[in-house]
A = this chain, B = another copy of it.
């Protein structure tokens, strides 16, 4: 029995509410247990320098935490002058994960920026950002299709992510903050609706891990992601 009453292989209750911001092309609020992330997607008619004139688009992501998303206050970025290393690591992960979902030729010379702002943090904010960010991006693409900005959908597949960890020797799915801070191995898995991997990051926090442990964790993650993609299918049809 886990700290919040779940079984080891049981993910948290996850809800995704699309369209929460009238100001953005696409948006979604994702809640995974007590973790809440506001995701928005912005479409702009420009691409990074290395893509100009290629006819291809780009997807990028930014990640932030509201000062009181954590149980003690975290100073906001602007006060320190720059995002932390952890922030950079997370936003690069989200960006890479969402890029694989998009056919850049069909998107054309446009950039989609997905902003993931954590309202409340209880573990798994980076994986929730990927799952929710995909929905915000899909909403924005729906708008582009609706207004005939693009002719065909550049969405190639659904993309969702979940964490797995080994706590007190037991592999557990979708860690909350308290579990995460006690885990020996921390693993984040990003997969597509075709059952393929996008990112697979496993880190030994305390003890190192062997192949068998790794395989057990991976099985949990695959199962969890299938559930998240089912939820995405309920909201968006490709």
Chain A residues close to B by CB (< 8 Å):
21-24, 27, 34, 38, 40, 42, 44, 62, 64, 66-73, 76-89, 91-92, 96, 100, 113, 115, 117, 119-121, 192, 194-211, 214
Give complex CA distance A202, B115 in Å: 24
* Stoichiometry (number of copies): 6
User: Could you tell me the distance between the alpha carbons of A205 and B96 in the complex, rounded to whole angstroms?
Assistant: 7
CB distance from A123 to the nearest CB of B (A): 12
Structural contact, B69 and A23, CB atoms closer than 8 A? yes
Partner of A197, one of B42, B73, B204, B205: B204
Query: What's the nearest-Cβ distance from chain B to residue A163, in Å?
Result: 15
* Closest chain B CB from A8 CB (angstroms): 21
Residue of B nearest to A222 (CB): B211
Given A40-B66, A64-B78, A199-B203; A119-B208 close (CB under 8 Å): no
Q: Smallest distance from the beta carbon of A185 to chain B beta carbons, Å? A: 9
Residue of B nearest to A42 (CB): B73
Name the distance in Å between A233's Cβ and chain B's nearest Cβ: 18
Q: Could you pull out 15 A-B pairs where Cβ atoms are within 8 angstroms?
A: A21-B120, A24-B68, A42-B68, A42-B73, A67-B113, A76-B77, A78-B82, A78-B83, A79-B83, A85-B88, A89-B89, A196-B208, A196-B209, A197-B210, A200-B202
* Additional pairs, 9, CB under 8 Å, beyond known A78-B80, A192-B208: A21-B68, A23-B70, A38-B119, A77-B78, A88-B88, A100-B206, A195-B210, A198-B203, A201-B202
Partner of A73, one of B44, B67, B200: B44
Contact B199 A73 (CB under 8 A): no
Q: Is A200 touching B201 in the complex (CB atoms < 8 A)?
A: yes
Of all A-B residue pairs in the complex, the 5 with the closest CB atoms, nearest first, are A77-B78, A85-B88, A196-B208, A40-B68, A24-B68
Give chain A's interface secondary structure class: mixed
A205 vs B70: C-alpha distance when bound (angstroms):
32
Which residues of B sit under 8 angstroms from A202, Cβ to Cβ?
197, 199-201
